A and B are shown apart, each in its own frame.
Chain A
Amino acid sequence: MNHLFEYVLRLGDDSLILGHRLSEWCGHGPVLEEDIAMTNIALDLVGQANSLLEYAANVEGKGKTADDLAFLRIDKEYRNLILVEQPNVDFGHTMMRQFLFDAYRKILFEKLLESGDEQIAAIAAKSLKETKYHLKHSSEWVIRLGDGTEESHRRIQNALDTLWRYTEELFYSDEVDESLRASGVLPDLSSLKQEWTNYVHAVLNEATLEIKEETWYFQNGRQGYHSEHLGYILAELQFMQRAYPGMEW
C-alpha cells in the first residue's frame, strides 16, 4: 500500500464529500445569508478537495487526475469519515456536523503545517485560513441554537445525540499514520484528540448542550466501509461522468 497516497486521499475525500453534502443546501437555506454561507463553505471544501486529490493522483503515479479520483471510484474506494456523509436533516443538524468536523480540521491543519511533506504543509497553510472562518461560523451557530429557543435547543441536542457516535473516528489511526509518522511526513498528532475535546466541550457547554456517551462508535470509513448514505451521494456526484465519460462544459 502507498501510505502517502492513502493519507492524502483520506484528507481529500473528507473535503469532497462534506463539500458535496453542504452544496445540497444551495437554494434551500433557511435565510439567504446562510444559503450563501453554506455554499461558500462548500466551495472552499471542494477547492481543498481539488488540491488534495490532484496531489494524491500525482503521488499514486498512475496518470490519473483529480477528476478521475473524484468521479470514477466506487464506494469502497472512498476514504472519508462516516461523519461527513451523514445527511443534512435540518439546519441545526448541518451546523452540528460542520462544527464537529471544523474543530477537528482546524487543529489538524495547524499540526500539518509542520508536515515533512512540502505539499501537505502548503495545502494545510492555505486551507487553515479558510477553516478558521468555517469553525467560527459553525461554533457561533451551535451556541445560538443550543442556547436559543426550546425548539432550537431540542433540535440541535438531537443532532449532537445522533452525530456523537461518529466522532471517535476523527482520531482513528492505523499503519498508514504510523509509517508516515516514522518517515517524518506526519508530525506528532497525539494531542489532537485532547485539543479537540477541550474546544468542543467549551463550546457545547456555552451552548447548554450535553454529550451522551455511546457504547458503540463507528470508525470504518478510512478502510472504505461506509454508511448507506454514501452510495446516494455518489449516484448524484458521479452521474454525469458515468453517463457521459470525459464530458466537459
Chain B
Amino acid sequence: MNKSDLKDYAVVGKPIRRVDGPAKVTGKATYAGDLLLPGTLHGKILRSPYAHARILNIDYSRAMKLHGVRAVVTGRDFPGVRYGFMPQTRDQLPMATDKVKHYGEAVAAVAAIDEDIAEEALDLIDVEYEELTPVLTIDDAMKEGAVIIHDHMDTNIAASSKMHFGDVEKGFKESDYIREEKFTTQRVSIGFIEPHAVIVNVDNSGNVLIQGSKQSPYITWRHFCRAMDLPLGKVRIINPYVGGGFSGKHEALDLDFAAAALSKKTGFPVKIVLSQDEVIAAFKQRHAKHVEIKIGMKKDGTLVACECKMIAEGGAYASVGPFNIVIFATSGLLLPYRMSHFKYEAHRVYTNKPWCGSVRGQSIPIARFAFESLFNMMIDDLGLDQLEVRKKNSILSGESTINKMTVGTAGMVEAIEKLGEMIGWDGRKKKKAPYRGIGIACSPQVSGARMGGHFGSSAVVKVDEDGGVCLIHGGTEIGQGCDTVLAQMAAEVIGVPVEEIRQMEEDSDVAVLEAGMFSSRCTFWAGHAVKRAAEDACQQLAEIAAPLLEASKDDIVFKNKTVFSRKNPGRAIAFIDLVRNAYYTKGQPIYGRGSYSASNIPMPDLKTGEGDVTNAWAFFAQAVEVEVDPETGRVKVLKSVCTRDVGRPINPMLLDAQLEGGTVFTSGQALYEECCFDEKGRPLQNSFLDYKMPTVMEAPENEHFDIITDDPNGPFGAKGAGEGSNGTTLAAIANAVEDAIGVRIKDLPITPEKILAILKQRR
C-alpha cells in the first residue's frame, strides 16, 4: 500500500489486533467440544466398513443390554426426507437406511452415560450387509453398464454444465499458437484441527437446540429442518467458536441428526465429538479432477480462445458439486484474462467414496492450476515474458467478460507490475541458481457469488443508554476474522473504539444468521449490512443531535466518541450525552438495522453460465520461489510474494494471515497431500500421522502488497478476499517447479517420486 492510499479512517484499514484474540490466546474461547449441559449423554456412531453395500438387517438388542446405554438409533428413526443444496440433487439422508454408499457412512448411533460405554456398545450392534461392487473412479462411474450408486437415478452423473461463448472453433482458427494438455488433481482432506462436534437437546415440547462446530449455521439449520421434517421455528441453532472450517462444516452432518434423534429418545442432551480418524476417513474432501484444456493465442501472447473439459469425481453425495463445476468456469477460467471465445463441458460424477464439495478456494485453485500451467508453458514456448503476457491479457476496470460478468474495479495489471518489482523479475534470469525456480500465477476472487436461495445479510446495532454498542451480525467467526472486521466497520461509522463494541454468537432465534461463510463473502455482504445498521443508528441519533447543535442532521459527524457538525467542529457534544438524551429526554431507544441483498445481480444461469455472480471481483498475483533437492526430489517452498487488489483491506494484518495460511494449506495439495483408497474403496489414511499436512517446517516467508482500488460497490471500498491465495498457489508452485527442473508435472501432487523419476531419466 502506498502512503497516499491511506484515507482518513480511524480504524478501517488498520492492522488492529483481533477482537477474539484475548479469548483464544488464554484458552477461554469456547468451541463445541467444550460444551456440556446438565445430564449430557455421550454419543458414538457406527460406520460402514464397506464402500458400497446393502443393509439387510440391523440388530442392536445386545447393545441396549449393556449397562449405561440409553438409546440406539438407525436410519429408520428419521422421516426419510432427503436433503441437499439444490432440489434436483437432494440425495442425502441423516443416516443410511437401505444402502451404504461410502466407507464410514453412518448406520447407527448410540447414546450412553459416557464415551467409553458408547464406544463399547458399537461393537454389540450387528449389521448384516450384502457387499456391492464399489464404483471408485471416473471410469467406473461413466462406463457403459456402470453400477449405479443412487437407486433413484439412472446414471452416476450428479450434474453437468455446458457453456459456449463466442465461437471457439473460429477462435482457434484465428490463433497463431494452440496447445492442449491434460491435468489431473487429487482428492485432499480438509484437515481442520477441530473435529466435528455437536451437542443437541430436544425438550419436552420437541424444541431442538443445536450447538455445534458450524461454519454456516444457516445451512446446517435449513438442511436439518428439512431432513427432520420440522419447521424452522422448532429448531434453534447457536454457534460457538469454530476451529477451522475451510468449507467442511456447512452442512448438517450425521452427528447432528444422530444427537438429535438420541436426545429425543432419551430426553437428555446428547453430545457427539468425532475422532479425527472418522473425519479424515469418511468426511468431506476436495474433488479429484480430470481437466483437458486447450488454449489459443496470438504470437504476441494475446489470449484468443479456451476450451476445457472437466470431470469431477465427487463421492457418494452431490453436496455443492453442481455449483463447483459452474464456478470452475465462471470464477476459475473466465477471469482474470480477457478472451473472446470459450467453450466448456463438465460433469460431476458420483463414486463410492466420501463426498466432496467445496474446500478452501472452491474449485478455483484447480481451474487456475490447469489454466495458469498451460498458459505458462505456452508463454515459454513462444519465448515471451511471463509477466508481460499476463499484464497484456488482464481484464481492466469496467470491462465485462464474454459470459457477461461485469468487473467494476480491477487492479490486476498493477498487481502484476508490483509483483515483478518485488521479486526483481527483470534481473532474475542472469543469476538463476540451479534447482531454484520462480513461478507466477494470477487469480480472480469473487466477493460472495450469488447462486440462489436466501443470500441476504442483515445486522442490528443497538446503542445502550450508557453509550455501549452491541453489534449483532450473522458472520461466523471461523478464524477468518469477521468479528474484528465487522466491528471495525461499525466502530468507524459510530466513532467509538473497536473495544467498546460487543458481539454475540450467531443464534437463529435472537440474533441473525448469515447465508453462510463461503465464497469470500462475509466482509462484503455482512460488511454492507453492518455498515448500514450502524449508519441507521447514527441517523436516529443525528436527528436528536441536530437541534442541540443547531445544525442540519446531514452535517452531523460521529468521531472519537463525540458528535459535531462538520460546519462547526468546535462545538461538540459527547456521544454518551447524546445517547442519554435519546433515552432519557426523548424516551427513544436506539436500534439501527441494515441489510444487503445484492438483488441487482442477475442470477447466473447455471445451464449456460451466463450472467453476473457478484458485485465486485478481487484480483491476486502471486510468485513463489521453490528449491528442489536433486538427491531426495523434495520441493521446498522458500518464499511467497502476493500482490492484490482487494479494493481496500479492512484489516490488512488479518488478511495477510489468511492469505499466507491459504498458501500453506494449498502447498500441501501441490506437493504431497492425497487421500488414497484401496481397491474396495477403504481409505488408506485415517490419522494425521498417515495424512501428512504442512507443518511449520514447510511454511514459506511471505510478502504482500495492496493495490488500493476502493471499489464503489464494497463497504469502505472492500472486496471479498479471503480465499485469493488459494487460487494462485497451486499453479504458482507447479510453474516454479518447472522453472527449477525444466520439466512440467501435470498430475498433482508433485511428489519427490515423480521428480526423482524425471531427474533420473535426464541423467
Tell me whether A and B are bound partners: no
Give chain A's interface residues, CB within 8 Å of chain B.
Answer: none
Interfacial residues, chain B to chain A (CB-CB below 8 A):
none
